[in-house]
A and B are shown apart, each in its own frame.
Chain A
């Protein structure tokens, strides 16, 4: 194959003049992480709430939770990205919409991207939380009631502490997914890692150096996330409880 590698391109200055191409990509990683992290906070908070509500004995609360999950699970991420970026500002009151549209870059792209990614991932976390709660023996809930705990107390002291430990492994893969999925934000113009790799390819014509560097950065990031989550798992482990296995799951 006639491709001449030229790794020195990574040290050349990028056209924006902010530094070398390598620095340019690493700043991209920074944006990837800042986007993923902010979205992760939303996803965990909303996901834990919705997932828990779906296991309560109130039928209409369960139905509302199901509706939320089905809506955001059945629309592709990129389409949701476009909805948050192009459609939502038009549907808000004129002044608010204009304010959002006139936000200085990259915030005008960053905020829709975070909201979109947060809500998208919250649905997947809600499913995990629900599955975790439902995997507990029913006796746990009954024992809570028998001890005189209210429904809220049963969740707080009996169910949720166990459920969250059970779902830590799937949460690990969700936290890697949110990092990967943040790359979709390049479609609304957020220059995160993948977006910057593509930009570097366009400026320098060094296609495979750009994508290979980005790939290596993603692999290293994944490795760090896996190690961090494994350490967390060890830290919160309750002696005597068996670690939960990973059931096969569809994913992307």
Chain B
């Protein structure tokens, strides 16, 4: 059983320039979109207006009950129809794996970010909102200037931990043949028949990145804990 680790060296530019760029960009876009959409969902879930909270709750529970792989398939086939509906075209719009992946991960992660932000918002004493209203602020001002900044800060470590999980989960775009870091490695592995070397390398790279990020989150957590 001869192992040949040279294949890794020669494919590094492809693996990182194509693959890792895809993975990191997807993670950052889905994180940003997911936190924004997730926060809105959390506000809806906590709203006193019942239909709104039921709608948001239903969405979150649905997303959290279905495997991510199935959600990826759903959106991969659904996004073309949504596109046709939005643009008024009578044929499904052609979208690539990249766009579909961004939509999927934003929509899916929003459900998880929502639950984190909901716990964050609920951790703020009610009196603060009332104090805001007493000062003449409206709902959006009280939320945007009093509650959300604190909630976000309290939940920052959990939000970042969720982002590390998101970073790992983006590797599942393999199922729609996207060229993320794993997809790129898999293409080389199958071309040169070097599966052992490539997949071991992929595991090591994911480990180093995720572990370093989790150490950073831990340090941040300690610092926040002291300040409070």
Give bound CA distance, A75 to B140, whole Å.
40
Give bound CA distance, A77 to B81, whole Å.
30
Q: Which of chain B's residues 166-212 have a Cβ closer than 8 Å to chain A? A: 166, 168-169, 171-172, 174-175, 182, 195-196, 199-200, 202-203, 206-207, 210-211
In contact, B165 and A215 (Cβ under 8 angstroms): no
Taking the complex as formed, is B53 at the interface, i.e. its CB lies under 8 A from any CB of chain A? no
- List of B residues within 8 angstroms of A187 by Cβ: 174-175
A162 to chain B, nearest CB (A): 25
B96 to chain A, nearest CB (A): 17
- List of B residues within 8 angstroms of A186 by Cβ: 69, 175
Q: Which of chain A's residues 62-99 have a Cβ closer than 8 Å to chain B? A: 70-71, 73-80, 82-83, 86-87, 90-91, 94
Most buried by B among A186, A187, A215, A250: A250
In contact, B206 and A194 (Cβ under 8 angstroms): no
- List of A residues within 8 angstroms of B101 by Cβ: none
A223 to chain B, nearest CB (A): 9
Give bound CA distance, A208 to B74, whole Å.
8
Contact-residue size bin, chain B (C-beta under 8 Å from the other chain): 35 or more
B219 to chain A, nearest CB (A): 15
- List of A residues within 8 angstroms of B202 by Cβ: 79, 82
Taking the complex as formed, is A6 at the interface, i.e. its CB lies under 8 A from any CB of chain B? no
Taking the complex as formed, is B112 at the interface, i.e. its CB lies under 8 A from any CB of chain A? yes
Known contacts A2-B84, A78-B171, A183-B67, A211 near B203 by CB under 8 Å: no
Taking the complex as formed, is B36 at the interface, i.e. its CB lies under 8 A from any CB of chain A? no
Taking the complex as formed, is A252 at the interface, i.e. its CB lies under 8 A from any CB of chain B? yes
Chain B interface main SS type: helix
In contact, B182 and A79 (Cβ under 8 angstroms): yes
Taking the complex as formed, is B226 at the interface, i.e. its CB lies under 8 A from any CB of chain A? no
In contact, B155 and A248 (Cβ under 8 angstroms): yes
Name which residue of chain B comes closest to A80, CB basis: B203
Name which residue of chain A comes closest to B81, CB basis: A1
Known contacts A76-B182, A251-B112, A197 near B90 by CB under 8 Å: no
In contact, A83 and B175 (Cβ under 8 angstroms): no
Taking the complex as formed, is A49 at the interface, i.e. its CB lies under 8 A from any CB of chain B? no
Taking the complex as formed, is B66 at the interface, i.e. its CB lies under 8 A from any CB of chain A? yes
- List of A residues within 8 angstroms of B21 by Cβ: none
In contact, A75 and B67 (Cβ under 8 angstroms): no
Give bound CA distance, A47 to B68, whole Å.
24
Q: Which of chain A's residues 229-252 have a Cβ closer than 8 Å to chain B? A: 247-252
- List of B residues within 8 angstroms of A207 by Cβ: 77
- List of B residues within 8 angstroms of A31 by Cβ: none
Known contacts A1-B84, A3-B81, A183-B67, A198 near B196 by CB under 8 Å: no
In contact, A86 and B199 (Cβ under 8 angstroms): yes
Taking the complex as formed, is B10 at the interface, i.e. its CB lies under 8 A from any CB of chain A? no
Chain A interface main SS type: helix
Taking the complex as formed, is A9 at the interface, i.e. its CB lies under 8 A from any CB of chain B? no
Known contacts A187-B174, A248-B119, A75 near B158 by CB under 8 Å: no
Taking the complex as formed, is B18 at the interface, i.e. its CB lies under 8 A from any CB of chain A? no
Interface string of A85-115 (1 = CB under 8 A from B): 0110011001000000000000000000000
- Contact among A1, A3, A75, A94 with B1 in the assembled complex (CB-CB below 8 Å): A94
In contact, B81 and A194 (Cβ under 8 angstroms): no
Taking the complex as formed, is A214 at the interface, i.e. its CB lies under 8 A from any CB of chain B? yes
B136 to chain A, nearest CB (A): 32
Subset of 20 A-B contacts with CB under 8 Å: A3-B81, A70-B211, A76-B168, A76-B171, A86-B199, A87-B196, A180-B67, A186-B175, A194-B67, A194-B69, A197-B70, A198-B73, A208-B77, A214-B70, A215-B70, A218-B65, A219-B62, A250-B158, A250-B162, A251-B165
Extra A-B contacts (20), CB below 8 Å, given A73-B214, A86-B195: A73-B210, A74-B207, A75-B203, A76-B169, A77-B168, A78-B174, A79-B171, A83-B200, A86-B199, A87-B195, A87-B200, A184-B67, A194-B69, A194-B70, A197-B73, A218-B66, A218-B67, A219-B65, A250-B161, A252-B68
